[in-house]
Structure 1
Amino acid sequence: MTKKNITRLNIFLDIFLLTIFTIIFYLNIPIVSQKDIFIPRGSIKSIITYLENHAYDINKIDRFFLILIGKPQSGFIDIKHTFLSKADFLYALANSKTSLKEVTLIPGETMYFFNKILAQNFNLDPKDLEKAYKKYAPYDDGVIFADTYKLPVGASADFLMEFLVNKSLKRHQELSHKVLREYNENQWFRFISIASIIQKEAANTSEMPLISAVIYNRIKKGMPLQMDGSLNYGKYSHTKVSAERIRTDNTIFNTYKNKGVPKTPVGSVSIEAIKATINPADVKYLYFVKNKNGSHTFSETYEEHKNNITKK
């Protein structure tokens, strides 16, 4: 080997070693991060840009490392630590799984209490959740389907509500097309408003078509619905309706004072309540009262209804 070739080899080795040391130094740069990080859908390049724009010490160079290590999973991921090296941070991005928590909205529950459940489980302010809900939902209640949802830990109130409302509105449209062969938002949510009262009033699913029939029969005769369940809206979801409430409540939900169905749902509904709304029982009942068994006794006339009350 000539002296000239030896010199070139030495230069190459020096550059190689310098590159290795530079990479080692670079990958050991400390990074401070949140444990839960949101990763948007898209290419590695767009993920890098998103993180860079959200104050993470990451840049275009890191794109090449992620190409070698692996693409991060979209959604909120739990990287376990808040202080780590650049190498550990990139490895965590590529290998951490989405951190999810289950939360359930039960049929009949109102957004007032569902927001409290979300706030408790995801360390959020109920007022922020309420604000976000109103931003995305077309109605004050009844938009989000009663169901169990797996939601990302660390998500903001805005993110959660946008996801829940959009997912639910899509289900409303799909169900409407399946049942009615079309989707008219105003007409559909009138059904949901009726279903929300049925949900509050029915002792069980078998009663739902009967209560649905009572509602339609009363509307047809121009009678007020006079149903306590409509007054179990918002923060009154679990409050027993008193004569005082009936006298003093001047909202659209007071079906003792207002004829017809409230323009917005009282709370969340089940599929069974929706089906009962669209397919009421073929009966002439106008009244019902809770009996000793906890279910309801139905009647066609007021005289019969009074007799049923005395039998309670």
Structure 2
Amino acid sequence: MLSFIYYLNKPIDSPKIIYISKGSISKIITQMQNNNYDVSKIDALLLRVIGSPQSGWINIGSTCNTRGDFLYKLATAKAALQNVTLIPGETTYIFLDQLAEELKLDRNILQSEYELQSQYPEGVFVPDTYSIPIGISEKLVIKILLNESLSNMKKLSMKAFGIYNEKKWLQIVTIASIIQKESANIEEMPLVSSVIYNRLRLGMKLQMDGTLNYGKYSHIKVTPTRIKEDTSIYNTYLHGGIPELPVCNVSVDAIKAAIFPANTDYLYFVKSKNGTHEFTRNYSTHLTNIMRVTK
């Protein structure tokens, strides 16, 4: 009896937020052991008496508990969730600002964790509404978002191409990010995509303002001065081809447009007074359109 009481009062360290997989108590214990939690078959037996943990995220409240408290919290605790929405076309820089504000996390640590865990500085998150456990760490939230996004990206690639080729997919997402920034609506996306491919085929520079809405400049109006002074890889007035990396995080619709552009001969477009764009193949017509919309 004394040894049993001693066992239940031994301290056990763990994160505040724990993910419990679906399955039997034995499967849950095995999963926790694989994730380096100090649990054993004895704990599986105790949980059968206390109760089976609910699958999903749970908040056990503290990082150090007695084993008895830890097992009780496993069986009874739940995690409060908060929805965070990443809007299509938003940059990761702005999204990290949003995560820090809405989840009360450290912005600098989020940035450091993102740089440690992500191979690319932009375009790796899938815009969606994510249910995030309140109290989660900066490291874990980045891990969750990256893993879920990569899984979704691979599914999209498999559906479109039958394979996931990282280099090819990065190029698709990069083109999709330009489409996302330039299009007024989903219906325009295949048309914008056609302009990109038509200009690339003819060796023309893209010269699209949206590529300069990268990073912290996501919502900053692009001026002639900015076009002249920005020497980044994103300046498609300065550099030919598409940028080496995506400009922003992209929607499924933008990805579809990047894979399936409309069949047009358009080379130019300009935003009209109603917010949509007017497309044309001829530069003279394009100049006329510019004059009309700027009156």
**TM-score normalised over the length of structure 1:** 0.81
Q: In the alignment, is the contact (CA less than 8 A) between 1:76 and 1:153 conserved in 2?
A: no
Q: In the alignment, is the contact (CA less than 8 A) between 1:144 and 1:165 conserved in 2?
A: yes
Corresponding residue of 1:153? 134
Structure 2 residue 262 is the aligned partner of structure 1 residue 262: no
Q: Distance in 1 between matches of 2:75 and 2:276?
A: 55
Identify which range, 44-53 or 244-253, moves more after superposition: 44-53
Partner residue of 2:104 out of 123, 132, 136? 123
Per-residue CA distance 1:150-194 (angstroms, 9 max, x = gap): 122222222121221122112112111111222211111101101
Q: Which ranges of structure 1 fall in alignment gaps of 5 or more residues?
A: 1-18
Deviation at 1:32, TM superposition (A): 11
Corresponding residue of 2:291? 310
Deviation at 1:142, TM superposition (A): 0.8
Equivalent residue pairs, number: 288
Q: In the alignment, is the contact (CA less than 8 A) between 1:39 and 1:73 conserved in 2?
A: no
Partner residue of 2:29 out of 32, 35, 44? 44
The 1:185/1:30 distance shift into structure 2, 3 A limit, reads closer
Deviation at 1:199, TM superposition (A): 0.5
Corresponding residue of 1:289? 270
Corresponding residue of 2:88? 107
Corresponding residue of 1:171? 152
Per-residue CA distance 1:244-303 (angstroms, 9 max, x = gap): 111111100000000111111001111111111111111111111111111111111111
Q: In the alignment, is the contact (CA less than 8 A) between 2:17 and 2:135 conserved in 1?
A: yes
The 1:291/1:46 distance shift into structure 2, 3 A limit, reads closer
Other structure's SS at 1:130 match: helix
Q: Which ranges of structure 2 fall in alignment gaps of 5 or more residues?
A: 22-26
* Residue identity opposite 1:105 in structure 2: L
Q: Distance in 2 between matches of 1:188 and 1:89?
A: 43
Corresponding residue of 2:231? 250
Deviation at 1:230, TM superposition (A): 0.3
Corresponding residue of 1:9? none
Q: Distance in 1 between matches of 2:188 and 2:122?
A: 23
* Residue identity opposite 2:268 in structure 1: Y
Q: Distance in 1 between matches of 2:30 and 2:101?
A: 35
Deviation at 1:62, TM superposition (A): 5.7
Identify which range, 164-173 or 104-113, moves more after superposition: 164-173
Q: Distance in 2 between matches of 1:76 and 1:289?
A: 48
Q: Distance in 1 between matches of 2:282 and 2:236?
A: 20
Corresponding residue of 2:117? 136
Other structure's SS at 2:84 match: strand
Per-residue CA distance 1:13-66 (angstroms, 9 max, x = gap): xxxxxx5xx69987997989999442565543774897976xxxx998766532
* Residue identity opposite 1:38 in structure 2: I
Q: In the alignment, is the contact (CA less than 8 A) between 2:91 and 2:218 conserved in 1?
A: yes
Deviation at 1:138, TM superposition (A): 2.6
* Residue identity opposite 1:233 in structure 2: Y
Q: Percent identity?
A: 46
The higher radius of gyration belongs to 1
Corresponding residue of 1:68? 49
Identify which range, 95-104 or 182-191, moves more after superposition: 95-104
Q: In the alignment, is the contact (CA less than 8 A) between 1:76 and 1:155 conserved in 2?
A: no
Corresponding residue of 1:225? 206
Q: In the alignment, is the contact (CA less than 8 A) between 1:36 and 1:76 conserved in 2?
A: no
The 1:288/1:92 distance shift into structure 2, 3 A limit, reads same
Root mean square deviation, CA, Å: 3.1
Q: Distance in 1 between matches of 2:19 and 2:188?
A: 46
Q: Distance in 2 between matches of 1:184 and 1:34?
A: 37
Per-residue CA distance 1:86-135 (angstroms, 9 max, x = gap): 76654332111233221111100000011111112222222222222222
Q: Distance in 2 between matches of 1:128 and 1:291?
A: 42
Corresponding residue of 1:13? none
The 1:94/1:148 distance shift into structure 2, 3 A limit, reads same
